[in-house]
Amino acid sequence: MPIARPPLPLTDYQRIFRVLKTVLDAADANPAHPSVFFSMAGAYLIEQHYKKRCQPVAGAAFFRVDDDAGAVLPFADKDHEDLSSDKGFHCWIMCDDYILDFTAPLFRESLQALGSAGSCSRKMFQKPRSAMSDSPLLMHEPGDFHMLPNVDLTRKILSEFFANERNNDLVKTCAHWYRKPPKDILRQATMTSNDGTVSHLTLSSLSLVGAW
Distance of alpha carbon 44 from alpha carbon 52, whole angstroms? 10
Can you give the pLDDT of all 212 residues of the chain as single tens digits? 556 789 999 999 999 999 999 999 998 766 668 999 999 999 999 999 999 999 999 999 999 998 777 789 999 998 888 899 988 999 999 999 999 999 999 999 998 888 886 678 999 999 999 999 999 999 999 999 999 999 999 999 999 999 999 999 999 999 999 999 999 999 999 988 776 778 899 999 999 999 99
Question: Residues 6 or more apart from 156 whose CB is under 8 A from it?
Answer: 86
Distance of alpha carbon 152 from alpha carbon 139, whole angstroms? 26
Distance of alpha carbon 97 from alpha carbon 95, whole angstroms? 5
| Domain spans of the chain, in order of start | 10-202
Nearest partner of 61 among 51, 71, 72, judged by Cα = 72
Specify the pTM: 0.94
Nearest partner of 42 among 85, 86, 87, 106, judged by Cα = 106
Distance of alpha carbon 65 from alpha carbon 139, whole angstroms? 10
Distance of alpha carbon 46 from alpha carbon 180, whole angstroms? 10
Q: Which fold has domain 10-202?
A: Atu2299-like (3.10.550)
| H-type alpha helices, 128-164 | 151-162
Distance of alpha carbon 173 from alpha carbon 21, whole angstroms? 12
